[in-house]
Structure 1
Amino acid sequence: MEERLQEVSRALSAATQTAALLPDATDLDFHSSIDPSFKRALGRVTEGLGALIERMSEWVEVPVGDASIDDVTQPSRFSAAVGDAIDRLLEQTDVYLDEYAGRRPVAAPAADTASASIPSKGKLPRHLLQANIPRPQDKFTTRPDNRADAPWSRPLRRGKPNAQVPLGYRDPAWGITESSCVVGQYGVEGDARLNPYHVEIQQTPPPLHSLRPPEPEAPKPLEMDAPDSSEPCPFVWVDSLAKLEALAVHLEEERVQEIAVDLEHHSLRTYAGLVSLMQISTRWGDWIVDTLVDEVRENAEMLNASFTHPAKVLVLHGADHDVLWLQRDLGLYVTNLFDTFHASKLLQFGANSLAYLLLRYLDFEADKRFQMADWRIRPLPKEMLFYARSDTHSLLYVYDRMREELLAHGGPVSVKEVFERSKPTASKVYAKEAWDPVGDARSGWRTLWLKMGGDLARASQDALPGTPMGREERLVRRLHQWRDAAAREEDESPHYVMPPQVLIGLAFRPPMTVQEAAARIPKNLAVAQRRLDSLVQAVNEEQAAYQSEAQKRVQSAAGDAWDLPEEDVGEAWQEGPSAPAPAEVPKAVQQGRLNTESSLADVRVWEQPAPAAVRDGAQLFRGLKTSEAGAAKPAAKKRKSLFDRSKPDEKPVESTLQRIRAECVQWLGGLFGQTVGVSTAKREPTEPLEASSPAWEAPSASQTKRKASPEPVAAPAEADDVDAVVPVAKHPKSQPGPRARKETAASVPEFDYGSAPSMLSAPRAPSESSLLRASGGTKAPKQGKAPKQRSNARSGNRSGTFSGGRAGQR
């Protein structure tokens, strides 16, 4: 036994080592971050496994929700994601084994197995939202025509019943053509006057029975488990020409005065859309018309005899879409339309949906999840059939209750107002929507770009008018156009051909080869995968067009930069004797790489002499030494320092010094109340000073000596270059004290202003020798109450370096 275990261990050694080398979840993330090819390969495997899970869910008809690979591989999520589905499959397997062994009788097959898988709450299963079924339009006799250059037309093959004007009537004053289109609320629509029943809609008054007080009678509720039952009222599933003819006969009966109509539409697997069901109810029964049956679709036009009858009212809710779909797919028109949506607006209800009206009048809560269901499924699950029949089963009762309230509030005028508001809706005409190069529509390329383009889209939105589009924005436009053309040819919706997320991703990472496109487009996009060649060609063409236009703009900008205006500096060298020849133009400019004027402004400009006119008078060249000016005058000596200034003429210096001396002498004379060498100019008398004032003392010896100096102290008053001085008496408080004057006079030597080379050579008093605050006992004598010192923090002197007292300032 021991030997056997060793053999098994040796056999498993290689497998164990290989298994240890397999990466776990953490290793996968690490390798994906450093190896893009590994990340792409892992993504393809993940998408394939996800598609396999979805297909298995459809095969076993058991919903697994939106299970991902992580939900399947992680034990904590497995039970909630797919564990319940597997348990249900195992239970069914036990039942089948018991039936096979004879322990249980064999059960009859269910009529619709899909209905058993619809949950009562939450999101609908995927197989109900996007059913994997053959496209019904491929078997239609009249195939959809999606060509953008061909206008839509559906001739009335059975004529125009209930006509007031013949078919094809056009008022000459209208001035319209068959291709006239307008942009309506729900896309592009034809001109309302192109409606074959436009005159009848506008001129037909509301029937008299619609203005009488109603007698509402609530209908019997439908059975959820048996929605096709005829116990509440007769029910017919119209899927043949015979049943359609029987319905037409019933609707044309005189007793039928109101007809409730609703449609179920599908738009994913077709370009223009597809009417999948038409629900019709009268006060005597319910009918659901299968409009996917070819013979029913081709002959539905026979219902126009009752739909356009002037004595019959067609009741619809929110018929803006329904009216267009009836014309496009069935060739049906409506004249006397009563739209319960407009009635709810006129009654000012808090909500205007059909679900609210059913809840208000019948206490019935409609399951609106089925609005997004795939109504091409046949046979319909019972929940979907119940929903479809409920829309019109109680709509006539809602019509009676709303008319009752309208008559109670406003009388017959209110009811007529609802009919008038419904006429524009009934007059709508279907028109094919061409691809919009501007892209501002609800599904346009610019709307998609601004919604999902991020920062680049916001920048393009804020750009100035005329700014060229960026590369990504141009690619979004081109890919959007390519997607629209492919969807028209394949008769698929643009979203099915390429979702918006994929389109934006390709615009930011454009594929240049077929291999790159195949790697960046998901495998489940079959239409795009079949058209990779045309996709790559469109991308390359748009890239080449963008580069060509960018190069043209660069060359145009370079040409404009050479052709400068007359005021530009560049004109100096263009007109100069040594202007460069075309061959001397910089090579970068010739190749178109320089695209701004700033890059050309410094090319050979400063190497040329300035023109004479500019050099003599222009402020820009004032002080500029050119070659010609240098030849006329000797070059000036270059200064080595800012303070190395040339010595001015002597006459202005002498006159300035004489004026300073005269002012000083006059100030001293006013100080002592006597004239010291002043001119005989007339002066204003000064106020007498008190002898007992302590501020006035005898002048010091130095001051006396300075006054006795033989130098002239004043210039004659008659001199032209000396200004007359008018002394002004000073306030006693503003005069310096005698002690301060003595110290200043004793410490400051005389200074010769005439022979001094600079004012910086003048000696200073000890207290003024430094700008720093004095320290120690050098504090100035206190003279009265000093003014309040400013705060250093508020005055900007936070460090206290400079003296802050105002008393020392002069």
Structure 2
Amino acid sequence: MSSEHQYTLVDNDSSLQSLLQELEFYDMAAVDTEADPMFHYAVSLCLIQITIGDTHWLVDPLAGIDLSPIFKTKAMQNIILHGADYDLRLLWQRYHYSPRSVFDTMLAAKFVGEEKLGLADLVYKYFQQSLEKGNQKADWTKRPLPEDMCCYAMHDTTYLHELCALLGEQLLEKKRFSWLTETCSELIEHAKIKAPLKKDPWRMNGSSRLSAKSLNILKHLWEWREKEAEEMDRPPYKVLSPDLMFMIVKQLSSLSTFDAEALPKLPRNFSGKRIESFYAMLKNAFQEPVENWPEVYSRPAPPLIPPNAELLEFLKSWRDEKASSLSIDPSMLANRIQLIALATPGTTSWEERFDNAHFMVWQKNIWIDILQQNLN
């Protein structure tokens, strides 16, 4: 896509100072980020796109300059993002930056009833412009950044101000602006919460039916893959794919001792010290004492107080009907976990149930009247 817009690359102190001056002049900035989950072991922030007024800035976090002043400026206290959750987490982890307010254009599109929520879909609908998708899986650590990648990145924020205005107007007409405001406030707070570490991260999707012996092999494979990936600075799945890991487990689980001939075809770069290390790891797996093998998966115990099945079905039916009348996704009114919490006996009032289920005020306001009328 040929670009009619110009951008400024912020990769030195001079360009940074120019950006800081602009950011103090405006009340709001459109922001996006690019990271590199497909090319390196650890995900790192590689680019920050900022649009203010009619100027576009590509900020380079890899340039070795102090970018922290950016996040103290006036415009960066109120920002527009599309699909804000991931960007907010990245910016909090890297800079401890948390804006005062966010307008998430993806959430706004959900609240006004748009069916297609991708930025490219919305830009085409509202502005009849096509956004290129060719660099979605590019290596954003590459320096210098090629011109086509810079243009791609710039267009991720080019239309956000206008999109914000158009969607905001619809939200006001539908009296749903407060829904977005509260939901975005929740996003800002959730971005600061560090995700809990998984107890057994090697228990991959699809491992729940494996035997203890198979799990033992899988655990050794996973730990070896993590070590190799970190040393190579590559995503683990590019060292050994999950499908290949399960094929290896299947081929070896019936054996009493390790046999390299039983292995499926391995990646071409499995040679020299790597293949020696790989074989040694598998031999160790077979030598692992049975008492050290992982426990097989067991289903969680059912809750002590199960939900009222009739009430749960009523709540789901009412939610779906109400969502249809509002032209929004049913899960926005309440997800399944929230419905189960509402349908579980043990609390004395609906207010308590809403609090226990972590309903937002706007959700509660939609539910409370109809529930009191039908269930009291």
Structure richer in helix, relative to its length = 2
Report whether the alignment pairs 1:362 with 2:127: yes
The verdict on how the C-alpha distance between 1:470 and 1:515 changes in structure 2, with shifts beyond 3 A counting, is closer
Asked if 2 retains the 8 angstrom alpha-carbon contact of 1:314 and 1:336, the reply is: yes
Asked if 2 retains the 8 angstrom alpha-carbon contact of 1:301 and 1:331, the reply is: no
Aligned partner of 2:142 among 361, 377, 388 = 377
The verdict on how the C-alpha distance between 1:282 and 1:324 changes in structure 2, with shifts beyond 3 A counting, is same
The one-letter code of the counterpart of 1:521 is: L
Aligned partner of 2:71 among 301, 304, 309 = 304
Asked if 2 retains the 8 angstrom alpha-carbon contact of 1:326 and 1:332, the reply is: yes
Aligned partner of 1:505 among 225, 238, 247 = 247
* Structure 1 residue 349: Cα displacement: 1.2
**Which residue in the other structure is 1:784 paired with?**
none
Deviation per CA, 1:461-501, whole angstroms, max 9, x where unpaired?
xxxxxxxx242233123312332244345443211221223
* Structure 1 residue 401: Cα displacement: 0.7
5 Å-filtered alignment, 1:440-589, equals: 445-449=203-207, 457=209, 460=210, 469-510=211-252, 520-524=265-269, 530-545=273-288, 547=290
Aligned partner of 1:343 among 108, 113, 122 = 108
The verdict on how the C-alpha distance between 1:489 and 1:335 changes in structure 2, with shifts beyond 3 A counting, is farther
Asked if 1 retains the 8 angstrom alpha-carbon contact of 2:248 and 2:263, the reply is: no
5 Å-filtered alignment, 1:84-99, equals: none
SS in 2 for 1:262: strand
TM-score relative to the length of structure 2: 0.67
CA RMSD in angstroms, aligned pairs only: 3.1
**Which residue in the other structure is 1:269 paired with?**
39
1:517, 1:498 → 2: CA distance?
Answer: 17
* Structure 1 residue 432: Cα displacement: 6.9
* Structure 1 residue 234: Cα displacement: 5.0
SS in 1 for 2:226: helix
SS in 1 for 2:42: coil
Asked if 2 retains the 8 angstrom alpha-carbon contact of 1:286 and 1:389, the reply is: yes
Asked if 1 retains the 8 angstrom alpha-carbon contact of 2:36 and 2:141, the reply is: yes
1:329, 1:419 → 2: CA distance?
Answer: 25
Structure exhibiting the larger radius of gyration computed from Cα positions = 1
1:262, 1:398 → 2: CA distance?
Answer: 14
The one-letter code of the counterpart of 2:224 is: W
Asked if 2 retains the 8 angstrom alpha-carbon contact of 1:300 and 1:332, the reply is: no
The one-letter code of the counterpart of 2:281 is: A
1:519, 1:404 → 2: CA distance?
Answer: 58
Aligned partner of 2:170 among 402, 405, 413 = 405
Q: Which runs of no fewer than 5 residues in structure 2 stay unpaired?
A: 294-376
Deviation per CA, 1:499-548, whole angstroms, max 9, x where unpaired?
2233223323449779769995323358xx64445433432333233556
SS in 2 for 1:279: strand
* Structure 1 residue 416: Cα displacement: 3.0
The verdict on how the C-alpha distance between 1:538 and 1:429 changes in structure 2, with shifts beyond 3 A counting, is farther
The verdict on how the C-alpha distance between 1:280 and 1:498 changes in structure 2, with shifts beyond 3 A counting, is same
* Structure 1 residue 424: Cα displacement: 1.7
Report whether the alignment pairs 1:284 with 2:54: yes
**Which residue in the other structure is 2:186 paired with?**
424
* Structure 1 residue 436: Cα displacement: 3.8
Q: Which runs of no fewer than 5 residues in structure 1 stay unpaired?
A: 1-223, 451-456, 461-468, 551-810
1:321, 1:415 → 2: CA distance?
Answer: 22
Asked if 2 retains the 8 angstrom alpha-carbon contact of 1:358 and 1:365, the reply is: yes
Higher RCO (CA < 8 A, seq sep 6+): 2
The verdict on how the C-alpha distance between 1:426 and 1:548 changes in structure 2, with shifts beyond 3 A counting, is closer
**Which residue in the other structure is 1:415 paired with?**
177
Between the aligned residues of both structures, percent identity stands at: 24
Deviation per CA, 1:738-785, whole angstroms, max 9, x where unpaired?
xxxxxxxxxxxxxxxxxxxxxxxxxxxxxxxxxxxxxxxxxxxxxxxx
1:321, 1:419 → 2: CA distance?
Answer: 18
The one-letter code of the counterpart of 2:223 is: Q
5 Å-filtered alignment, 1:703-782, equals: none
The one-letter code of the counterpart of 2:41 is: Y
Asked if 2 retains the 8 angstrom alpha-carbon contact of 1:303 and 1:332, the reply is: no
**Which residue in the other structure is 1:578 paired with?**
none
The one-letter code of the counterpart of 2:185 is: K
2:108, 2:195 → 1: CA distance?
Answer: 30
**Which residue in the other structure is 1:769 paired with?**
none
The one-letter code of the counterpart of 2:119 is: L
The verdict on how the C-alpha distance between 1:422 and 1:432 changes in structure 2, with shifts beyond 3 A counting, is closer
1:549, 1:235 → 2: CA distance?
Answer: 58
SS in 2 for 1:372: coil
Deviation per CA, 1:703-745, whole angstroms, max 9, x where unpaired?
xxxxxxxxxxxxxxxxxxxxxxxxxxxxxxxxxxxxxxxxxxx
2:292, 2:159 → 1: CA distance?
Answer: 62
2:262, 2:14 → 1: CA distance?
Answer: 51
